[in-house]
A and B are shown apart, each in its own frame.
Chain A
Amino acid sequence: MGAIQLKDIRLQEYDLDNLQLLRELRKESMAAKPRVCIERARYITEYLKGASGDLSDDSKGTSNEPMEIRYARAVKYFLSHKEPLFFDNNKLAGTTTSHPFGAPVYPELTGLTIWPELDTISTREKNPLILEKSDAEKLNHSIFPYWMERNVLEYTRKKYHNPDCMKLFERIVFFIASKSGCISHTVPYYRKVLEKGIEYIIQEAAAREKEIRGSNNSSSKACSADESKRSIEFYQAVQIALEGILLYAARLSQKAAELAARESNPKLKENYRKMSEVCSQVPAKPARTFREAVNCIWIIQIAIHAENINMAMSPGRLDQILYPYYRRDIDEGRLTIKEAMELIGCLWLKLNDNTNLVPEVAEELFGGAGTVPAVTIGGVDENGEDAVNDLTYIMLKVTELLKTRDPSLNARYHYEKNSEMYRDRVAEVIVNTKSVPALHNDIVDIEVLRNQGVKIEHARDYAVIGCVELAAAGRSYDASSSIMLNLVSALELALYQGKRPITGDEQIGPVTGDPSKFQSFNEFMDAFQGQLKFLIEEAIELNEHFGHSHQEILPTPLLSAFFEGPMEKGQDLIFGGALYNSSGATHIGYADTVDSLNAIEQVVFIDKKCTFAELVKALQADFKDNDKLHAYLVQRTPKYGTDHPVAIKNSQALIQFLYDLYQSRVNYRGGKYKPAYWSMTNHAGHGRLSGALPNGRKANQVFASGITPASQAAGDLSTCLRAVGSLKSTCIPGGEALNLKYPSVTGEEDLKKFSQAVEAYFRFGGLHIQFNIMSYETLIDAKNNPGKYPELLVRVSGYSAYFKDLNEAMKEEIITRTAYDLRTGKAIPFPKAK
């Protein structure tokens, strides 16, 4: 697999001047204004209202069909009515929405949160989305009212009688339970549909259904009547939902043929004719060519979003999945490298054709993210051998040329198996794009998955979900963003005996004692861990409630058909059908929490510079009139990211505590909870809502991102990499995001150092690393003059975003992230304000 046949892995002869199609499509993509698309919401609602009565109660309505089948029919109804649209000269047929750049509405999830903005969303200040007046009226009068009692959040609230865990979630400042918003964050399995086609999968489901019916009639029943019934329903639902994809593809084919017949430009005519031909083959039948394979994947992506929200549905290891088709076409002279680049570029741009729909205040606090479909390249294959191939380099080149927000490209690197040539090329692309791809450590990632019970060949075939999370691609359903927990909130609850400054006098957590009376640091750690345990248990309880609600009202037969496990078990993904199951819980404010623990231990219990009461008083006053203590906390206390033993001890202890706690819990699908440390933009939003901390961070300042040390805390690059890399990686099964910044990387020597720093970090044991190659000054200028940097792409905490789209706090966090001088390995001081 790993044989490289390209003469030049940099593909230097190609650029956007001789890839005119990509230049043109990129220009259009960048210029496209996002529009709200109600097509899906309209058809799904229309079907459920008209044909099936009440979504959440089988006893009402005109149909008594089980939800699994009813929902499959709704998805099929939508796909069979979905408009086949061709907006541009892209070589791939199909669009996620009815607009060139659309935000689909998912009213069963969080769609109703934009209800108050129906009149203003087109003109709002932050990331406006154009909404046609007629569409707003449809949402207001016929779509949203239907879902008022039926979306996941309200269904769950009613079913569990507005439980305390839900009330706590709705305070927002403790944890976010993402399941109210989606079944998402996963990597489907595309190999089967490419090799066999959807008609085969439908036939397989029909045969399995028949087999169960047969065994039910025989005397030897292997499973209970209930299980058999559910399996039969599942197989029926798979057939129905997949038929919807076939109908959509057929309409695409027909429409393309019509356009070809009308088109006078020979080149465009041929493209339409070809698309028509491709869609008459895939995804119904096996892909025969590279173009068919790429278009097949794209149509399945669209179809998955007909059923599930557009959030981190990640295509996975495309350089591996598509390689056989590429190789065959190249070898047989059906494809040129340029054409392959065009097709990959077309797919990259298609993956950018949709965005999320969120209310403005969510944009302000947490905004700027795309839909984060992650593509993974490189690493080793299932046999543990170098998997880097020509397509890996083609994908790197296309990424380098297009510099688009999505897909979120992730390069796996196995320092024993992959070549330095590959490593250095990835580094070069990062430098040239200034931010992508992110790098993942194959050796450690595989070990982490093995530790979670994943078979070696499946672990080696891992792919990245959304930001940084690891999946046994197409085999594990990880729901990796189920919980996002603010660690600082637990710290504040411990400091204020179960209360937080932002929630005032309300008793939120248990009364864990007055810190001023603690005689040792361990007593405070006990209090902190008690509060943390309380929050985690609340978050898990709510996630379980949401999981059960999903099982009852939002099954996923379509998505399940593209995984290993559900078809074999006769079980929907949401019921645990995948080979491996887990729920991810990521943490916000890790570095600030660790540094605060360090500061308390050092200042109160070791140096005895102040009493605990004095410290808490200073925090409550946001260090007003207490400059001396503030300076001491900032400058003299142990910092995570250094080799100070207190910092190392506390950083390890927190990781271990969270790992032990989460891993002891089993989710509703029979999988474990997996702690993680990536924060998207939440560290900025939550930072704005938190009081002053013992590490000297003042109130309302942003937290450090992911697992990254706090800004300016770690002065030496190699020490920082060692400290982070030495965290016990098997205790971080949900993934981590380490963000580094270099002001510039110029010349071969710098590039070599850049690569070597990555390798050193991986040899220390780090899981993931990503970069922004830009100086403080550039970022400050970009903040002050957004018009000068319309396409400035930055890595946030696990994904890419256009800097201009980020909220102010997030911009500030990226600006203030420590920048290191690659040559000296030292942190560059933040420029003093002029």
Chain B
Amino acid sequence: MFESIMNLITFRSLREKLLRKRLLDSLESGTAEGFLTLLLNLMSLVLLLDKDYRQNTKDFQGKYLFKSRDNSIVVSTQFKNGNMTIAQKAINDPNIAVIFKDSKALMNFLLSPKPDILNSMLKQDITLDGNLNYLYKFAYMATHLRLMATNALT
């Protein structure tokens, strides 16, 4: 039993490192393809592994829908009872729906060195439907993740 748990932790840690590297590569190269899933998977893993980061989801319930304007990408995520689930499909009654022009726009929106929510809205690269505070919280978590990944947290 103990060995299985250790294996699981080791596996998750390795996977987290791998995802972190892929996310960094993606940010560095500007390759946006698949970055959303990458981000959400990394977020989900770090929530499991990092107790400080896990505090972000304590007592938090939120449903997020991300979809590209042409519907070629539809991803939803849900935070409930400290768990985070990810699905490659739409979700009913999201607290916030983020509709993006393309993956690049979404990447700039969520993970550029500057949190660019307002600017992306101004440029209409991103449109939002729902409670903006959920997005602000998510953007904080994403930024925090990026800073963790780049060892830039002070």
Chain A residues with CB under 8 Å of chain B are 112-113, 115-120, 122-125, 133, 140-141, 144-145, 147-149, 151, 153-154, 157, 162, 170-173, 359-362, 364-365, 502-504, 689
26 A-B residue pairs with CB within 8 Å:
A112-B132, A112-B133, A115-B133, A116-B117, A117-B143, A119-B140, A119-B153, A120-B114, A125-B114, A141-B58, A144-B133, A145-B59, A145-B60, A148-B134, A153-B132, A157-B131, A162-B130, A170-B121, A170-B128, A173-B122, A361-B114, A361-B117, A361-B118, A361-B122, A502-B122, A689-B122
B140 adjacent to A116 (CB under 8 Å): yes
Assembly CA distance A157 to B131 (angstroms): 8
Assembly CA distance A125 to B116 (angstroms): 13
A113 adjacent to B136 (CB under 8 Å): yes
Known pairs A120-B114, A361-B119; A112 contacts B124 (CB<8 A): no
Assembly CA distance A455 to B50 (angstroms): 66
Residue of A nearest to B137 (CB): A115
Residue of B nearest to A689 (CB): B122
Using an 8 Å CB-CB cutoff, how does the interface string of B91-131 with A read, 1 for contact, 0 for none? 00000000000000000000000111111011110001111
A120 adjacent to B131 (CB under 8 Å): no
Residues from chain A with Cβ under 8 Å of B139 in the complex? 115-116
Residues from chain B with Cβ under 8 Å of A125 in the complex? 114
B131 adjacent to A149 (CB under 8 Å): yes
Assembly CA distance A145 to B60 (angstroms): 8
Residues from chain A with Cβ under 8 Å of B128 in the complex? 170
CB distance from B141 to the nearest CB of A (A): 9
CB distance from B91 to the nearest CB of A (A): 17
A359 adjacent to B131 (CB under 8 Å): no
Assembly CA distance A117 to B117 (angstroms): 11
Known pairs A119-B147, A140-B56, A145-B59; A362 contacts B133 (CB<8 A): no
A115 adjacent to B131 (CB under 8 Å): no
Any A CB within 8 A of the CB of B154: yes
Residues from chain A with Cβ under 8 Å of B114 in the complex? 120, 124-125, 360-361
A116 adjacent to B115 (CB under 8 Å): yes
Any A CB within 8 A of the CB of B22: no
Known pairs A361-B114, A361-B116; A162 contacts B143 (CB<8 A): no
Q: How large is the interface on B (under 10, 10 to 19, 20 to 34, 35 or more residues)?
A: 20 to 34
Name the residue in B60, B130, B133, B137 with the highest tally of chain A Cβ atoms < 10 Å from its Cβ: B133
Residues from chain B with Cβ under 8 Å of A359 in the complex? 115, 117-118
Residue of B nearest to A359 (CB): B118
Residue of A nearest to B144 (CB): A119
Give the tally of cross-chain contacts (CB within 8 A).
92
CB distance from A358 to the nearest CB of B (A): 10
Residue of A nearest to B58 (CB): A141
Chain B residues with CB under 8 Å of chain A are 55-56, 58-60, 114-119, 121-124, 128-134, 136-137, 139-140, 143-144, 147, 153-154
Known pairs A124-B114, A172-B118, A361-B119; A147 contacts B133 (CB<8 A): yes
Residues from chain A with Cβ under 8 Å of B137 in the complex? 115, 144-145, 148
CB distance from A743 to the nearest CB of B (A): 35
Known: A172-B118, A361-B114, A504-B124. 20 other contacts (CB 8 A): A112-B132, A116-B140, A118-B140, A119-B147, A123-B154, A141-B58, A144-B133, A145-B59, A147-B133, A149-B131, A153-B132, A170-B132, A171-B124, A172-B121, A172-B122, A173-B122, A361-B117, A361-B118, A361-B122, A503-B124
Residues from chain A with Cβ under 8 Å of B122 in the complex? 172-173, 361, 365, 502, 689
Residue of B nearest to A150 (CB): B133
B55 adjacent to A502 (CB under 8 Å): no
CB distance from B80 to the nearest CB of A (A): 15
Residues from chain A with Cβ under 8 Å of B133 in the complex? 112, 115, 144, 147-149, 151, 154
Residues from chain A with Cβ under 8 Å of B59 in the complex? 145
Residues from chain B with Cβ under 8 Å of A140 in the complex? 56, 140
Name the residue in A112, A115, A361 with the highest tally of chain B Cβ atoms < 10 Å from its Cβ: A115
Assembly CA distance A504 to B118 (angstroms): 18
Assembly CA distance A365 to B140 (angstroms): 21
A162 adjacent to B147 (CB under 8 Å): no
A116 adjacent to B60 (CB under 8 Å): no
Known pairs A361-B119, A503-B124; A154 contacts B131 (CB<8 A): yes
B136 adjacent to A112 (CB under 8 Å): yes
Known pairs A133-B154, A162-B129; A115 contacts B136 (CB<8 A): yes
